[in-house]
Amino acid sequence: MRHATSSSRVPAVLAVVVLSLSGTAFAQSRPDTENGRYALSTTADGVLRLDTRTGTVSTCNNNSGTGWACYAVPDERAAMDAEIGRLQAENETLKAELAQRDQAATGKTDEALPKSDSLKKSEPKVAEGGRRIEIPLPSDQDMDRVMSFLERAWRRLVEMANRVQRDTSGKI
């Protein structure tokens, strides 16, 4: 039987040391998943870790001096839920204020406006012979309303003609 010399032991010892170091390096390559509790997904910066029990998401990075470190990602859902709750409360207070204003305003708007003599239409007068009917002329307010209506109608007609002209000039 042949005994191993010290020169043949060096490569074996070296292999054991390299394997043990590579094992620790491999263990340091990714965070532990603790028996399936964490779901890991690699990213350009490191690893995203999802805690399957709590739903917490963390970013894990391998710093050269300290090793792996995981930091919780801010929970957007909790922030959005808090904002939704705040907006709902604000909405309720605004609805209550609006209802109070409506109740206060209803007393004022329910009353009829007093009629003035200028708004009253005069009745057509029948002449002495009974054959002639006088028709009252429209008031200045009535004439202003008619003129405003005609101006708006004219502008719309001109705008429509311009659109038709632009459409046909673009297609020729």
| Lowest-confidence pick of 3-7, 87-91, 101-105, 167-171 | 3-7
Which carries the bigger pLDDT value, residue 50 or residue 20? Answer: 50
Which carries the bigger pLDDT value, residue 14 or residue 46? Answer: 46
Q: What percent of the chain has pLDDT over 90?
A: 23
- pLDDT above 70: residue 14: no
At 86-114, the pLDDT tens digits run 999 999 999 999 988 888 776 555 556 66
* Neighbouring-strand partners of residue 48: 41, 59
Confidence of residue 22 (pLDDT cuts 50, 70, 90): very low
At 44-83, the pLDDT tens digits run 888 888 888 888 888 888 887 778 888 888 777 778 888 9
